[in-house]
Each structure stands twice: as C-alpha cells, then as structure tokens.
Amino acid sequence: MIEKRDFYINGQWAAPSKANDFEVIDPSTEDPCAVISLGDQADTDAAVAAAKAALPGWMATPVAERIALVEKLIGIYKSRGEDLAQAMSGEMGAPIDMARSQQVGAGIWHLSNFVAAAKAFEFDRPLGDHAPNDRIIYEAVGVAALITPWNWPMNQITLKVGAAAIAGCTMVLKPSEQSPLNAMVFAEMMDEAGFPAGVFNLVNGDGVGVGSQLSAHPDVDMVSFTGSTRAGTAISKSAAETLKKVHLELGGKGANVIFADADEKAVKRGVLHMMNNTGQSCNAPSRMLVQRDIYDQAVETAAEVAQKVSVGNAHEEGRHIGPVVNELQWNKIQDLIQKGIDEGARLVAGGTGRPEGFNKGYYVKPTVFADVNNQMTIAREEIFGPVLSMIPFDSEDEAIEIANDTPYGLTDYVQTQDSDRANRMARALRAGMVEMNGTSRAAGSPFGGMKQSGNGREGGMFGIEDFLEVKAVSGWTPA
C-alpha cells in the first residue's frame, strides 16, 4: 500500500492541519492502495493565501518565461510517465497499457498544444488602426481553483494547469479524492520544473469539504471545474455569492448518428469508442442513432463487437477494459441496466452482474440495448459505464430532433458519406463539439459543451483565454 499524506502548499509539502484519513481503493481488487488526508478549512485557507501572495509576481513574469517553465514541465512529465500510469491504473482502474498511451499521453498533448498556442497569442495588442492610442491587454483572472475528476485525471489536470500557468494565474488544485496519487506525482513535477512558490498548490479533499470551500472562498477569483452537472450547479450557486468566474465542463449524453450510407466500420467504431475507458467519458457516444434501412444489421454488429470486448484487471497488460472506479458507480450502473430491461429495451449484449470469471472488483459487462426510445431512462441519464443505447430513426430531421432532445450538449457524432448532409448536421446539432466519420478534433480545438454540459472551453488558445480577463486601455502612448 502507498501512503502519502501531505499537501503541496507554497512550494513545499505540508502536513494536514488535522488527521482526516481517506482510503483510496483499487477498483480491480477492492483493496486499499493508498491512504491520503482530506483537507479542512485551514488547509484550504493556507493554499489560497499562498496563491494570492504569489499572484502579483507571477502575473508580472514575462509570458516567455511562463511558457519556458511549461516546456520544462513537459520534459519532466515525459520522464515520469510510468509513475503516472501506475498511479492511474491502481486508483481509477485504467488498464495499464491504456493508462500509458491514452491517460498519460493526453497530458503531453495538451501541454504541448498550450505552448504552441501561447507563442502565437497576442497578450498585448492594439485595438485597431483606427485607434492608435487604444490597447487591449489580456491579463490573468487571478487565483484559480481547479477541481478535477477521476475519470481522465491527467487530461483534466493538464488542461487546467497548463492554461492557468501560461495565462499568469496562480492556482489551487483539488483532484478527486478517488484518484489523488497521479496529482501528487504531478505536484512533484511542478516543483522540479521550478515554478515559484505559491503559483501551484495542491490540497486533497472531497467536494463537500475542500471543493465547497474553494468555490465560496472570497480570495478565489475563478473556479474551473470538471465533473457532474449536479456538482457544477452547486458550485455555480456557491460562487455566485462572490461573483467569481466559473468555468464548467460537465456531463454528456452524446448522439452518434449513423446514416445508411455510413462507412462499413462506423458501427464497430462507435461501439469501441463507447467502451473506451470503460465508458467513463463525458464525451462518450452513448446513444447510437441508426437509420432504419440499416438498423437491424447495425444491432447485430454492435452486439458482436460488444461481446468481443474483453474485461480484465487494470494491472495486466493487453487490450481490455478495466473496472469502473468504485462500488457506488458500479451499483449505479447495475441499477440503470436493470432499468433499461424493466422499461422494455431489448438487451442484445451484456447485462447485470459481473462478467464471467469475476467475483470481486468493480467490473461491468459491456452492454448494448436495442429498440431504445429517447424517453427511456437509459437514453436520458448519463450512465458513465460501458452501456450503449441504440435508437432507430427514419429521416434526417427525426435524427436531429432525437439527438437534440437531451439536457446535455457536449459531443455529437455523425457518420455519412454525404458531405452536404454532414455539414447540415454539424450546424443543426446542439453540441459544443461535432465529430464526423471518425475524424478526431485537431490540436488546439476547444473542448466544451452547451446546455447542461457546461460553459467553458478547454485546450489551445481557447483554453488560455478562459483564464484571462480583457482590459481596454485608452490614451496609450506608442513606444
């Protein structure tokens, strides 16, 4: 068992103000893999005070120097990749090969994209030729509270820390208490990179404790949160008392619209995408809408693909999905699978209970439901597990109606060889992101949603902008 009980505050590891032990559970085995301490108000106050004290100096640090520190961080990050992978595999159940490639790789990708975007970003620019004495200055929002989830830990930490650091914000990171170990490794990397004391601080805690304290803290200027819509609503209400800026990346119930002319791999691609990370992704294509002409064949293909998805211990190498993160999540998923059966959806793969051969660990059967309608619970709620709902449609207009009939609006997907139709769909779908025909978004493309999926944009130039205020200056004297 790993035991790590400290916080990183003002450039040094600090003991908690009082003992408040929390066991981190390995979801592959259901055994404890670490003991951490959850912070209290005194720990939160100390971290915020350190960030506030460091803010003037960090804001005044030239952008080129801030970028150089992030570049140094990237090199250190690469050297610690295996430590990060082992941590995430043990604490949240990412299969070790997937943790090395996708979970760790996401952090390098985002930090590198921030560096490229920052070098091209004009932090200080003229308003325009018509106003030679007017200037637009982009400056840091201030002290930023960064609250990150357990499902893609390094993805979310680097999306927030990289942007905040380059923008000139100081920060307090509260990682999920379900997956804190990778964040502690990351804090070691920030320290090794040489970020000034107080620029980056880490306090472990839960949402009710440290999360709520940060959201309401009068010296926190901004909260950047990734997690559930329920928690995002609570944070928004708490932050409203001090009118702080709130950036939210929340849940999703993505529609994957497959037309009859889709490429032959579209259904298989959609199922495998849904099952990746054991379905624990807010942008998962969890509703597969299939044009009726090919619906029966699509159901058959989806069932075959899901049945071939192997499930295994996260510590074992190989191409398989691991467990879901904890018992609470496992029970929720089981209840929703049963709800799908009870409401009349046709179960064509998977179902309730653990997969064959497992009597311990939070493993879920890769599950596919057919003949779902958009009013069923499994089509409305974010399941956050390897569960796919298939819904037939007849026309383009009907597909748009079904896809948009959700409180969420994060990522939708379109599969068609008709480019005009694809472009119409991209405009009609009410989502922050639309990916077509298996094409992933490019470097620097913003990640974020609409409606109850949140209001922020992360990644590249857009992510940096979220941590900046716009200052208009008149009467500027040109150099």
Q: Which residues are catalytic?
A: 249, 282
Place of tokens 């009980």: 5
Q: How far apart are CA 122 and CA 143, in angstroms?
A: 22
Query: Nearest 5°: phi and psi at 443?
Result: -55, 130
* Residue whose token pair is 């520190």: 69
Q: Which two tokens stand for residue 47?
A: 């971290």
Helix (DSSP H) and strand (DSSP E) numbers for the chain: 16, 20
Query: How far is it, in rounded angstroms, from Cα 272 to Cα 388?
Result: 10
Q: Which residues pair with 256 in a beta bridge?
A: 288, 413
Q: Where are the beta strands (DSSP E) in 280-416?
A: 287-291, 346-349, 367-370, 387-393, 411-415
Taking each helix axis from N to C end, the angle separating 63-79 and 104-120, rounded to the nearest 10 degrees, works out to: 160
Local structure of 239: helix, strand or coil? helix
Q: Measured between alpha carbons, how far is 289 from 293 in angstroms, rounded to an integer?
A: 12
> H or E stretch including 464?
helix 460-465
* Residue 309 exposed, middle or buried by CB count within 10 Å (0-12, 13-18, 19+): buried
Lookup result for tokens 């830990």: 153
User: Which of 333, 310, 314, 334 is closest to 322 using CA atoms?
Assistant: 314
- Identity of the residue numbered 320: H
Look up residue 147 and give its two tokens.
Answer: 């609250």
Q: Between β-strands 131-140 and 255-258, what pairing exists: parallel, antiparallel or unpaired?
A: unpaired
Quote the CA–CA distance of 157 and 154 in Å, as a whole number.
5
What is the rounded (10 degree) CA torsion for 286, 287, 291, 297? 50
How far lies 219's CA from each of 90, 140, 161, 237, 332, in Å? 35, 14, 18, 17, 37
